[in-house]
Amino acid sequence: MRSIADQYEKVVYWSDEDQCFIGVCPEFFKGGVHGDDPNKVFEELLEVVDEWVEIFEKDGRPLPEPKHAVLQAA
């Protein structure tokens, strides 16, 4: 079952500077999800984006316009 959060771009990449994988969703946040396992980072990223959608809906704020419906993993 698709959710509204599926419309948003999610990217997991390796950061040499931080020495870990970083998960981002540009429409909501630029960082904050990180760890050693890219699959776990991606799973957490999915949860965080779902939470952001819930917060926007609860607050009655319009959701950001999705830029891409692309899922990427390192």
Per-residue pLDDT tens over the stretch 8-62:
989 999 999 999 999 999 999 877 799 999 999 999 999 999 999 999 999 999 9
* 3-state class percentages of the chain: helix first, strand second, coil last, to nearest 5: 35, 25, 40
Do residues 33 and 44 lie in contact, with contact meaning Cβ atoms separated by under 8 Å?
Answer: yes
The answer to whether position 73 is within a domain reads no
Does the pLDDT of residue 72 top 70, yes or no? no
The answer to whether position 39 is within a domain reads yes
The answer to whether position 66 is within a domain reads no
What pTM value is reported for the model?
A: 0.82
Which amino acid, 72? Q
Do residues 25 and 45 lie in contact, with contact meaning Cβ atoms separated by under 8 Å?
Answer: yes
Q: Which two structure tokens, joined as six digits, stand for 73?
A: 């993993």
* Predicted local confidence at residue 44, as pLDDT: 96
Q: How many domains does the chain have?
A: 1
Do residues 67 and 6 lie in contact, with contact meaning Cβ atoms separated by under 8 Å?
Answer: no
- Which residues span the domain enclosing 18? 4-59
The answer to whether position 67 is within a domain reads no
